[in-house]
């Protein structure tokens, strides 16, 4: 035999009042809001995976076309070698044979978020390609076409080819390491020796480590081994 309603509620200890109804409504609305919030987060994740790649590929198409025009120009614009480049503008073309013939990225000036979404960036103030000192590049490990995703696969002796308008510079990998983000002496003119005057041309590539994190930095060092005049 069923108990009268009031008895059942008394046994369950929840006689519904105004307060309870308000709590129920608020709880339900919060619960219902979880669905769109979850969907927006999923969409944002999809954007990080695919949307950022598309953004960078679009930027790279423009940068590489402009770089090609600069390379083809006769170079009699009063500048000797690669001059100062504006933040966000391309200054060189980076190729790494180990990553395949299709691997080519226009390197932009600057390492802020706005520059790195276009491609690997050159630390302003560090050496330019081929110059004595440290030519320092930074790039995304994941997202934004992930130019430096496979940096960990580089081996000692691998070539890194940097094309500028006047010359092709070939660097050779000498080693790699994982450091804390605060270890900025890897970008010194002589890596790891702050204040020392450089006598050789080296390069340093930095990216995030481990993947999908920014807890540490993966660093690859190289040394200039060849300079060829570009005559194409």
Partner 1 sequence: MYRFLWRRLPGGTALRVALVLLLTGAVAAALWYVVFPWLAPRVPIG
Residues that bind partner 1 (CB under 8 A): 28-29, 32-33, 40, 43-44, 47-48, 51-52, 55, 113-114, 116-117, 140-143, 146, 207-208, 211-214
Least distance in angstroms from the C-beta of 205 to partner 1: 14
Q: Judged by CB, which is closer to partner 1: 44, or 100?
A: 44
Q: How many CA atoms lie within 13 A of 185 on its CB side?
A: 7
Q: Judged by CB, which is closer to partner 1: 56, or 126?
A: 56
17: helix, strand or coil: coil
Least distance in angstroms from the C-beta of 141 to partner 1: 4
Q: Judged by CB, which is closer to partner 1: 54, or 184?
A: 54
DSSP 154-203: --TT-EEEEE-SSEEEEEEEEEEEEE-TT-GGGGSSSTT-TTPPP-SEEE
Rounded Cα distance, 6 and 8, in Å: 6
Least distance in angstroms from the C-beta of 158 to partner 1: 21
Query: Structure tokens of 13?
Result: 């200890």
Least distance in angstroms from the C-beta of 86 to partner 1: 19
């Amino acid at each position: 035999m069923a108990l009268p309603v009031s008895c059942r509620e008394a046994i369950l200890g929840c006689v519904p009042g105004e307060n309870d109804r308000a709590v129920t409504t608020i709880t339900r609305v919060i619960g219902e809001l979880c669905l769109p919030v979850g969907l927006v987060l999923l969409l944002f994740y999809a954007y990080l995976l695919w949307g950022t790649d598309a953004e960078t590929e679009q930027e790279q198409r423009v940068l590489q076309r402009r770089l090609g025009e600069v390379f083809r120009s006769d170079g009699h614009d009063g500048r000797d070698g690669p001059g100062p480049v504006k933040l966000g503008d391309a200054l060189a073309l980076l190729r790494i044979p180990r990553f395949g013939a299709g691997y080519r990225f226009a390197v932009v000036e600057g390492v802020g978020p706005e520059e790195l979404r276009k491609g690997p960036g050159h630390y302003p103030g560090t050496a330019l390609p081929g110059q004595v000192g440290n030519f320092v590049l930074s790039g995304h490990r994941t997202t934004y076409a992930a130019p430096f995703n496979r940096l960990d696969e580089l081996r000692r002796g691998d070539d890194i080819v940097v094309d500028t308008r006047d010359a092709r510079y070939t660097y050779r990998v000498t080693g790699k390491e994982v450091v804390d983000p605060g270890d900025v002496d890897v970008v010194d003119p002589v890596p790891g020796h702050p204040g020392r005057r450089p006598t050789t041309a080296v390069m340093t590539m930095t990216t995030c480590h481990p993947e999908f994190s920014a807890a540490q930095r993966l660093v690859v060092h190289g040394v200039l081994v060849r300079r060829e005049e570009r005559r194409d």
